[in-house]
Structure 1
């Protein structure tokens, strides 16, 4: 999991706090658009897990939480997704708050990994492996007719095995409208992840042509002609011949 974060938060749970008589707070792992994630320890077993707390204004009548649980269950075969185990409740500032307990994923955020690389970026060939790992993880989600909606450097936990990249992703974001548009939004997000990992706009002009043929200057109309979903992106990478 990402390293310990120190910042002022809404819940601001301190290490050692006991939740629901079952879990002890160890540290804050991350803060997102809809909530906070903490590393916790199961008191009875000593097993460490992750606990996600939704901001009340993002989770009116537990709608966001229920959507997460239902979508996670429907996509439980997708290895890229963090699987939630149970729902717990606490009282916080005179309000009942529901939270999700999930597996604890070990590894750095992709943003932290990039930050630690020379020049704070990865090389083009490595970027192909990164994008292939990401598109391989997202492809089963799209095949099932769903989308993730919130793929970015701070929402992807990285596990690297040699030249291979594997990811775990948090925090769905539900887009209204046609499913195909939500799926294409994931494609744009994945290409943006590649773009940022390679150094962003300051490095784009120096990228090899095979990278530019994927990023397409970040022009949506050009990207849409090539990649409408993660599977098309994955197959393109499988057939790419960078020596031609």
Structure 2
């Protein structure tokens, strides 16, 4: 599909200006790409949502839990592998995010994860990637999530640097209202950063991975401890988290969007 080289929104191959960010499009400036799935660190902007990254645990065609047929490995995030799969019951494509091995041995962490996923399911907002369910197969736990056709903000910023001002303002507003919807539902993100924000095929910001960073409090494992570069001082020093912690991280994300640094 044809994408704007600035904001990754879908555009007509003959367009002279992106309708989303208003970036002028000289002849040959657009390109056809498939962009990565939800909330992962993909190898680069050419990684496809249906592509397979070498080294995945499950090969395409594998049916998990009698319900999810694996299409391919989207990538490997901070916690584990993320797969594109087809929900055979509903006939829809979903993302399966696997959690670290050994989680089933920690009852407190697993109980907290179930609580957070229940809360995350309450967030029904256009600027938030939907969380569907939590499951287990072969002793491995996974979370099923909405599959976003888009590129994560971290990848986008690495590729183009600073966003055009109008587009940065637009995405900032969407991220803010999405985060507010989560806080209104009583859930914190705890690890808000560009790689956990998708820019979908319509050029809209979608926050992902709500509820997953919360395991830090139970596991003590660094993989759940958030990202130091985006942590508020009280979170970094004492592990204290609140809505203010998310707002601190939000400010850093917005700074990157407007400055490219």
TM-score range, shorter chain: 0.5 to 0.7
Residue of structure 2 in register with 1:191 after alignment: 251
Secondary structure at the counterpart of residue 248 of structure 2: helix
Aligned pairs for 1:1-244 within 5 A: 2=37, 3-4=48-49, 7=53, 12-43=57-88, 46-57=91-102, 60-61=105-106, 63-75=108-120, 76-79=122-125, 80-91=127-138, 96-117=139-160, 120-159=161-200, 165-171=204-210, 172-174=212-214, 181-201=241-261
Question: What runs of 5+ residues in structure 2 fail to find an aligned partner?
Answer: 1-35, 38-47, 218-234
Q: Is the 2:119–2:187 contact (alpha carbons within 8 Å) kept by the matching residues of 1? A: no
CA spacing shift, 1:84–1:130, aligned 2, 3 Å: closer
Q: Give the TM-score taking structure 2 as reference length.
A: 0.60
CA distance, structure 1, for counterparts of residue 117 and residue 135 of structure 2 = 17
Q: CA deviation at 1:63?
A: 4.5
Q: CA deviation at 1:77?
A: 3.3
Question: What runs of 5+ residues in structure 1 fail to find an aligned partner?
Answer: 202-244
The worse-fitting range, judged by mean Cα deviation, of 171-180 and 99-108 is: 171-180
Secondary structure at the counterpart of residue 28 of structure 1: strand
Q: Is the 2:83–2:97 contact (alpha carbons within 8 Å) kept by the matching residues of 1? A: yes
Q: Name the one with the larger helix percent.
A: 1
Q: Give the TM-score taking structure 1 as reference length.
A: 0.64
Bigger Cα Rg: 1
Secondary structure at the counterpart of residue 39 of structure 1: strand
Q: CA deviation at 1:71?
A: 2.2
Residue of structure 2 in register with 1:209 after alignment: none
CA distance, structure 1, for counterparts of residue 181 and residue 110 of structure 2 = 22
Q: CA deviation at 1:45?
A: 5.5
CA spacing shift, 1:77–1:179, aligned 2, 3 Å: farther
Q: CA deviation at 1:59?
A: 5.7
CA distance, structure 2, for counterparts of residue 62 and residue 100 of structure 1 = 17
Q: How many residues get paired?
A: 192
Q: Is the 2:87–2:94 contact (alpha carbons within 8 Å) kept by the matching residues of 1? A: yes
CA distance, structure 1, for counterparts of residue 182 and residue 140 of structure 2 = 29
